[in-house]
Amino acid sequence: MADRVRVGVLISGRGSNMASLIAASREADCPYEIVLVASNNPEAAGLAIAQQAGIATFAHPHKGMKRAEFDSMIDGALRSAGVQLIALAGYMRILSAEFITGWQGRILNIHPSLLPLYRGLDTHQRAIEAGDAEAGCSVHVVTPELDDGPVIAQARVPILPGDTPDSLAGRILAEEHRIYPEALAQMARKLR
Ligand code: GRF
């Protein structure tokens, strides 16, 4: 098999999507490998999961640093690791336009809504409050506008009577774990 595309994953928290990307990367025919997991939160639970999987990690708190300065540090870590494609997986920090431009078309994000609906935070609560019949998740290419950029994969789930933001989030998360590895693999195949 041809060389695998080198992926860097950015996380801020529990890292369940990152774990699903790692699990898929262990399949023999997966077109990507994860070479670095980086975080703006040294306490992110996902860092330990990555380390247990034998993946290099980089963590530095963003507090006290200018956005451009912090992003340039992350950029350096990714480039030193030979990363070719970035997957944001619960990375709770807005990336500077400079960073995004430097990786044009090579950053993916998973967002828990049916984009273009509900960009930003509290997506599950907003979908329930709007009385929507369905919710879901989207994988999109990252552009300088928040939660914008071409959607390359989407999954839908029903919103059920009595759903809370947590119950809905759980139903959607299972779909996130299914579609993100597929979308990342699809993107990696294009870069190979
Ligand atoms: C997920 O719901 C993802 O869609 C959103 O942040 C959450 C991250 O969860 N961007 P995890 O850290 O992957 O478990």
For 130-163, the DSSP string reads TT-SEEEEEEEE--SSTT-S-EEEEEEEEPPTT-
- Atom 13 in ligand 1: which residue has the minimum CA distance? 17
**Angle, CA of 177, 179 and 185, to the nearest 5°:** 110
pLDDT(1) > 60:
no
Annotated active-site residue 60? The verdict is no
Give the pLDDT score at 24: 98
**How remote is the CA of residue 170 from the centroid of ligand 1, in Å?**
11
Q: How sure is the predictor about 177, in pLDDT bands with cuts at 50, 70 and 90?
A: very high
Q: What is the mean pLDDT of residues 148-173?
A: 97
The tokens for 58 are: 């980089």
Query: Which residue carries 């119950």 as its tokens?
Result: 167
For the chain, domain boundaries: 5-191
* Pocket of ligand 1 contains residue 171 by CB under 6 Å: no
Over residues 153-172, the mean pLDDT reads 98
**Which of 60, 111, 124, 140 does the annotation list as catalytic?**
111
For ligand 1, is residue 142 a contact (CB within 6 Å)?
no
Quick check: 171 pLDDT over 60? yes
Percentage, residues of the chain above pLDDT 90: 97
The atom of ligand 1 lying closest to the CA of 12 is 12
- Residue 17 C-alpha to ligand 1 middle, in angstroms? 6
State the DSSP string of 1-44. -PPPEEEEEEESS--HHHHHHHHHHTSTT-SEEEEEEEES-TT-
**Ligand 1 binding pocket includes 136 (Cβ within 6 Å):** no
- Measuring CA to CA, which residue among 72, 79, 82 is closest to residue 33? 82
Is the pTM for the entire model greater than 0.85?
yes
Residue 2's pLDDT is 66
> What's the CATH number for 5-191?
3.40.50.170
Token representation of residue 171 = 């139903």
For residue 57, what are the contacts with CB-CB under 8 A and spacing of at least 6?
Answer: 36, 37, 38, 39, 47, 50, 51
Lowest mean pLDDT segment, chosen from 53-62, 109-118, 124-133, 141-150: 141-150
pLDDT mean over 100-126: 97
